[in-house]
Amino acid sequence: MELTLSSAQYGLVFNLFSLTVATMAAAGVFLLASRPQVAPKYRTALTVSAVVVFVAAYHYVMILQSWKGAFELAGGSYVMSGQPFNDAYRYADWLITVPLLLVELVAVLGLTRDKARPLFRNLTIAAFAMIALGYPGEIAESASTAWIFWALSMIPFLYILYTVVVKINAAIADQNAEIKSLLTSTRAILLISWWVYPIAYLLPYLGLSGAAGEVGLQIGYSIADITAKALFGVFIYRIARAKSEADGYDLATRAQPAPTTA
Amino acid sequence: MELTLSSAQYGLVFNLFSLTVATMAAAGVFLLASRPQVAPKYRTALTVSAVVVFVAAYHYVMILQSWKGAFELAGGSYVMSGQPFNDAYRYADWLITVPLLLVELVAVLGLTRDKARPLFRNLTIAAFAMIALGYPGEIAESASTAWIFWALSMIPFLYILYTVVVKINAAIADQNAEIKSLLTSTRAILLISWWVYPIAYLLPYLGLSGAAGEVGLQIGYSIADITAKALFGVFIYRIARAKSEADGYDLATRAQPAPTTA
């Protein structure tokens, strides 16, 4: 792949990567520090949310370094230096964070352990399949290979999205208005941000080739990652907080009322 | 040693090292943050588990840098730059982390102090012997030297593995079903991941020489480290959590019931 980027194109991607590092790390500190604000049973959801964004922050540091190394300034434009830009960081990141994002969600929905375990096992297998099937297409030289792996990867993708939306819908039913609204927003964040990935993946094959395709892909992935990880994490916190309040968790004494014998 | 790696071989090892950094650090954040989720007497096990994975994360950053420096891109392949790839980082890591991994396990099994101390002393001496005897073979130029030190190193290796499995078996006996199942899984993680080390060590002498042998060795060590440290640490947490619950530790009030006078 030979690309020549304008200074504006190179800088836009570079600065967006840096912004993503800062956003992910910021979300991580917030989520870790906010654990005592929620009832103990929701704290693991926050811990896992923090881990997800810290892992993403690490990967964006590496992606930023790789981007810097892959290009060099030549006569006002950025040409490829010969060092490859490493796309694999994103896939390594997703291998770790996608299963953990699903843990967050399952943990905050408060499913019983015997319901949560098989659900989580199926979702994790699907997540690995989705990522493993996407990668050969990402690094493919030919459009037909890219399309085939895209289509294969979409099968577990759609399974995950469908399953998660069904579980959120079921969880919405018996909640108060505030939690209902938060779960509805979380569902929207998930549905919108997740669809960016398969679309960004296809950009280079949808007529947006060369520099514009590459820049579009990187912008799409970065904004989707911020939404699906940092913003999603903040909503996990808000749901945990609202559920803690609904359960009668007292922030001042950090105690919950004794269960009433009905 | 002269090696020429394909771009895919170099990249696979590089990306696996980076994934290992992220996984170890992620496990460290999770284990540190999860300490309040377990009863006070199991918290040291979690602290030590966190230390182990943070030390491993540091060493994988150094290993990744060393890998990067040891090769250079020449005509589409990666040839050795003249800078040696530093294997000693792994041995330095094991010197610190193997005794600590044994501390984790002994701590979570909840042995009495007078039983834990001599056990831990013997295991630590064996761990140092195992690592010190392995290193001369790792850097050996001749196959016969490598095999001799492998065989010597296997004596303390087998002593450690046998002792630890006996202790886990004894601990399984009087636990509830959940803890039994977690201890069984932990034993499996230990048995499977530990055997990767002596096998990976021998790969270059088992017909898998040159680039394929080196790549196989690095993949084997990295996956074994993730399993024996990060996954093992998560199971230490799960055991600690289940034991805390079985002991009556109340997550909400962070109190344990007063011992009943039977």
Answer yes or no: do B25 and A54 touch at CB < 8 A: yes
- The dihedral region occupied by B75, where left means phi > 0, alpha psi between -120 and 50, and beta the remainder, is left
Residues A52-81 have a mean pLDDT of 95
In the structure, what pLDDT confidence band is assigned to residue A205 with cuts at 50, 70 and 90?
confident
User: What's the pLDDT at B262?
Assistant: 47
Answer yes or no: do A93 and B22 touch at CB < 8 A: yes
B22 contacts in A (CB within 8 Å)? 55, 58-59, 92-93, 96
Measured in angstroms, the CA of A82 and the nearest CA of chain B are apart by: 9
Can you tell me the ipTM of this complex?
0.89
User: What's the pLDDT at B203?
Assistant: 83
CB-closest option in B19, B34, B253 to A47: B34
Residues A56-74 have a mean pLDDT of 96
Q: Which residue of B has its CA nearest to A256?
A: B252
Residues 6+ apart with CB under 8 A from B106: B116, B119, B120, B123, B167
Tell me phi and psi for residue A78, to 5 degrees. -105, 115
Contact status of A86 with chain B (Cβ, < 8 Å)? yes
- Taking only residues 216 to 235 of chain A, the set having a beta carbon closer than 8 angstroms to any beta carbon of chain B reads none
Q: How far apart are CA A95 and CA B228, in angstroms?
A: 19
Q: How far apart are CA B224 and CA B238, in angstroms?
A: 20
Q: How far apart are CA A127 and CA A160, in angstroms?
A: 7
Answer yes or no: do B37 and A43 touch at CB < 8 A: yes
Q: Which residue of A has its CA nearest to B29?
A: A51
User: What's the pLDDT at B174?
Assistant: 82
Residues A126-136 have a mean pLDDT of 93
* Residues of chain B scoring pLDDT < 50: 262
B5 contacts in A (CB within 8 Å)? none
How far is residue B209 CA from its own chain's centroid?
25
pLDDT over 50 (residue A262): no
Contact status of A55 with chain B (Cβ, < 8 Å)? yes
Question: Chains A and B: how many Cβ contacts under 8 Å?
Answer: 60
Q: How far apart are CA B60 and CA B54, in angstroms?
A: 10
What is the token pair recorded at A152?
Answer: 């294969």
Dihedral of alpha carbons A91, A95, A96, A102, sign: positive
Contact status of B30 with chain A (Cβ, < 8 Å)? yes
pLDDT tens digit sequence for A75-119 = 889 999 988 899 899 999 999 999 999 988 988 888 887 888 899
Answer yes or no: do A41 and B251 touch at CB < 8 A: yes
Contact status of A96 with chain B (Cβ, < 8 Å)? yes
Q: How far apart are CA B14 and CA A62, in angstroms?
A: 12
Residues 6+ apart with CB under 8 A from A99: A123, A124, A127, A128
Residues A198-223 have a mean pLDDT of 86
A48 contacts in B (CB within 8 Å)? 30
Q: Which residue of A has its CA nearest to B64?
A: A62
pLDDT tens digit sequence for A160-199 = 999 999 999 998 988 899 999 999 999 999 999 999 999 8
User: What's the pLDDT at A258?
Assistant: 63
Among A37, A43, A117, most B C-beta atoms within 10 A, so best to mutate, is A43
Residues A8-37 have a mean pLDDT of 97
The answer to whether A241 and A49 are in contact (CB under 8 A) is no
First and final C-alpha spacing in chain B: 69
B21 contacts in A (CB within 8 Å)? 58
How far is residue B235 CA from its own chain's centroid?
13
DSSP B60-75: HHHHHHHHHHHEEEET
User: What's the pLDDT at B44?
Assistant: 93
- Does A21 or A202 have the greater pLDDT score? A21
Among candidates A188, A200, A172, which has minimal Cα distance to A232? Answer: A188
B251 contacts in A (CB within 8 Å)? 40-41
Q: Which residue of B has its CA nearest to A31?
A: B33
